[in-house]
Amino acid sequence: MGSQISASNYAGPADSRRAGRRPVFGGIDLGTNNCRMLVGTPAPQGFYVLDSFSRVVRLGEGLYETGRLSPHAMERAIESLRICAARARRWSGDAETGPIRLRAIATEACRQAENGAEFISRAREATGLPLEIINPREEAELAVESCAPLIARAGRRALLFDIGGGSTEIAWVRMNGASAPALIGYLSVPVGVVTLSERCANSCYTAEGFQCLVEDIAALLRPFEAVHRIGEEIRRGGVLMVGTSGTVTTLAGMSLKLDRYRRGLVDGLTLTRQAVDAALAEARALGRDGLRQHPCIGAERVDFVLPGCAIFAAIHELWQVPRLLVADRGLREGMLLRLMRGPRAPRKGSIHA
């Protein structure tokens, strides 16, 4: 068993400053497909990244069929969490920094699985990390929080979506001028790139099958549209659409014709509808072999590209915003920004930048 890593045991920013050392914060996001970690220290405009880690663990593999996390998937995830825990301990022992203040979260796979809570207990015991399952609302909030510096350029509203491995989160956000943006409503659709690839991966490679998937997903989004009348707001103008997921950043890389993926060129990029349509058409035309060989994709992610494109296409067709803002950031960044604000920061309701 690893020694316990508890966020409550870590010094806060004030403690580290008094000791004359840089405060350090960490966020771990265990998703349906990936395990990611980010470590940073506050900067005038956000934070400096000190360390990062990402590994495909496929925690949700087989979940759609069995309703449970498989032994192999759980072991892959725990092994990656052990790496994250070791890195966190190294930063806590750094002579130039204070003890790391860290949060570790799990999302849709653990929410859905019959043995999700059992896995969390096992992972905490094995790694010492304070791993917890968050609900869909907080997942949407963290996604918005991570993108707050980008959506500051929005007019009246922002529509943010995050296509994950096991679910897709939609956040409808009101902009309040100089004040923090507020979450008007959110939707968590139990469809992600992993679950969709297991259900109907081959369907994505035919025109008819792809369109059927798009229509099925759009049907899951329409009740949210009926409540919030987002289409009317879009027609009035002043609505910014923000996409934060591997699907969207991959399509952005394809649109830019990159010879390898470069975050600095993608994060904050604005794509017109015409550019989005062209990237979606290119991804579908490449087929499995072409996608595998593409420098922004590769063999490890090839099975998830077209399922993600089907989810994105449904959002793109239902809400026809003229431009898409691409964000290569997510829950890890949102956790760090919240931690850096300190314990008095609200956890629910409005999103504070």
Domains of the chain: 7-134 (3.30.420.40), 148-331 (3.30.420.150)
Structure tokens at 48: 């400096």
Query: Where is average pLDDT lowest: 67-71, 179-183, 344-348?
Result: 344-348
Q: What is the pLDDT of residue 123?
A: 97
Q: What is the pLDDT of residue 182?
A: 86
Q: What is the pLDDT of residue 6?
A: 35
Q: What's the rounded Cα separation, in Å, for the pair 26 and 38?
A: 6
Tens digit of pLDDT for each residue in 78-133? 999 999 999 999 998 766 766 899 999 999 999 999 999 999 999 999 999 999 99
Q: What is the pLDDT of residue 288?
A: 83
Where residue 344 falls among pLDDT bands split at 50, 70, 90?
Answer: very low
Q: How many Cα atoms occupy the beta-carbon half-sphere of 348 within 13 Å?
A: 4
pLDDT over 90 at 163, yes or no: yes
User: For 100, which DSSP code?
Assistant: P
Overall average pLDDT of the 238-266 stretch = 92
Contact 245, 308 (CB under 8 A): yes
Overall average pLDDT of the 138-149 stretch = 90
- Number of other residues whose CB lies within 10 A of the CB of residue 284: 20
Averaged pLDDT score across all residues of the chain? 87
Q: What is the pLDDT of residue 8?
A: 33
Where residue 348 falls among pLDDT bands split at 50, 70, 90?
Answer: very low
pLDDT over 70 at 343, yes or no: no
Q: What is the pLDDT of residue 283?
A: 92
Q: How many Cα atoms occupy the beta-carbon half-sphere of 201 within 13 Å?
A: 13
Q: 3-class DSSP state for residue 86?
A: helix
pLDDT over 80 at 177, yes or no: no
Q: What's the rounded Cα separation, in Å, for the pair 60 and 69?
A: 6
pLDDT over 70 at 255, yes or no: yes
Q: What's the rounded Cα separation, in Å, for the pair 218 and 315?
A: 7
Q: In this structure, what are the phi and psi dihedrals at residue 33, rounded to the nearest 5 degrees?
A: -115, -35
Q: What's the rounded Cα separation, in Å, for the pair 111 and 71?
A: 17
For 76, 135, 146, 319, 329, the CA distances from 339, given in Å and listed in that order, are 27, 18, 12, 33, 16
Gyration radius from the chain CA atoms? 20
Tens digit of pLDDT for each residue in 202-218? 788 889 999 999 999 99
Overall average pLDDT of the 29-41 stretch = 95
pLDDT over 70 at 14, yes or no: no
Using alpha carbons, select from 62, 151, 66, 73 the residue that is nearest to residue 106. 73
Question: pTM for the full model?
Answer: 0.85
